[in-house]
Amino acid sequence: MKDSINLNVLRVAAFSDGATGGNPAGVVLGDTLPSDFEMQRLAQEVGYSETVFAAPQGDAWRVRYFSPEEEVAFCGHATIALGNALTAREGGGLFQLDLNSGRISVETKNDGSATLTSPPTHSAEADPDLVAAALALFGLKTADLDPALPPAQANAGNNHLILALRDRQRLAAMSYDLAEGAQLMRAHDLTTISLLWAETPRRFHSRNAFAIGGVAEDPATGAAAAALSGYLRDIGWPHEGEIDIVQGEDMGARSLLKAQFGATPGEGIRVSGTTRIIEPDTPKADGQATSPVTVLAPIKLAEGKTEADLLAASAVFQRDFVAHEPGILRRELVRKPDGTYLDIVQFRSHEDYQDVVKKEMESPVCAMFFSVMDLSDFDPDAEMDVYISLETH
């Protein structure tokens, strides 16, 4: 991928489970922040749910977050990823961060772990009409909700709708229409809709819909973890000062978050996790650079499927599969004049292309993407035309 105006983008997975999982974020450190246009364009090119931009300002760092669709007031996993980048540059320590809405901090260690302190929290009972609309969006019923944790709107820098479910199976079955989700979230100023299952009073499993950012689901959401923690504190939940959250399991990107908080209402929440670097492209063992290859994959819609169906499935495919494959450098979905489509995918090497194809055949995320296509003429044993890159301008 060729990033806008040649800015150096560090790619970091935050809240990882050891050497796997976590939520990828782009991190850009500079002497000054790029223009709003450049930050938005770069966030779109990076393709992660958020890219964070930071530049030194006085005794702190000026920080802004962008999803592929729009600027976000606060992002927890990108803050943890930023902590990793600042540690590599400055060494571990406490970093003050000035957001659009105020100052927070991230404290880091040289082992890749980091702890953010969120903006102040507040929560309230969720509007019944919003809850009804959200249940309909996910195909849920009131009986699916856990009465011990009533639906709530919680805030720790931005707004989250919290819906606690009675059982783990309903959480695992989460699905929804991306466009409808974005419309609902925009209408109610929501950053995510957080579906939860309480395994114990101090251990939660979570799935977070982020349709407003153009992303079906995040594998780890620090801002939502902080908002949930503030809500639990407000209702007197038996948290004993901390909770653990497992997120991303159902996406194949298991992530671990720990939230710690005192008894003072509204006080910021400490959210901790580990990070791992998403490795850049590497040369072959013999020292010769690999040549990127591009594949043009034709797509014909299945009967009854629309372009909107294709775009929704493509968004999930991009977020839940492509973004986790370092061998994929760039992807673009285009419409041809005859009404069919092309998925144009650039791979780091021909070997990466072959490796990704094998993974696609075993991935339920890819199966969902393929379900909107007419595959009657598809030959799984035939390799598509592969074009070797000669120059990139």
Structure tokens at 124: 């309230």
Tokens 């783990």 appear where? 168
More confident residue, 339 or 201: 201
Which stretch of DSSP H or E encloses residue 224? helix 222-234
Taking the C-alpha atoms of residue 24 and residue 172, their distance in angstroms, rounded to an integer, is 21
Q: How confident is the model at residue 329 (pLDDT cuts 50, 70, 90)?
A: confident
Is 380 a residue whose pLDDT tops 90? Answer: no
Residue 387: partners with Cβ closer than 8 Å, 6 or more residues away? 293, 294, 295, 296
Rounded to an integer, what is the distance from CA 209 to the centroid of its chain?
A: 9
Structure tokens at 135: 């249940």
- With 0-12 / 13-18 / 19 or more C-beta atoms within 10 angstroms meaning exposed / middle / buried, residue 240 is exposed
- Give the rounded percent of residues in the chain with a pLDDT score beyond 90: 64
Is 282 a residue whose pLDDT tops 70? Answer: no
Paired strand residues for 345: 295, 331
- With 0-12 / 13-18 / 19 or more C-beta atoms within 10 angstroms meaning exposed / middle / buried, residue 219 is buried
Q: What is the structure's pLDDT at 121? A: 97
Is 63 a residue whose pLDDT tops 90? Answer: yes
Q: How confident is the model at residue 392 (pLDDT cuts 50, 70, 90)?
A: low
Q: What is the structure's pLDDT at 383? A: 66
Question: Quick one: CA dihedral 20, 17, 320, 323, positive or negative?
Answer: negative
pTM of the model: 0.71
Dihedral angle over CA of 216, 192, 146, 269, nearest 10: 130
Q: What is the structure's pLDDT at 153? A: 98
Give me the phi and psi of 199, to 5 degrees please. -70, -45
**Strand, coil or helix: 264:** coil
Average pLDDT over residues 124-140: 97
Paired strand residues for 200: 203
Q: What is the structure's pLDDT at 341? A: 93
Tens digits of per-residue pLDDT, 75-105?
Answer: 999 999 999 999 999 999 999 999 998 999 9
Q: What is the structure's pLDDT at 285? A: 47
Is 247 a residue whose pLDDT tops 80? Answer: yes
Q: How confident is the model at residue 283 (pLDDT cuts 50, 70, 90)?
A: very low
Q: What is the structure's pLDDT at 381? A: 67
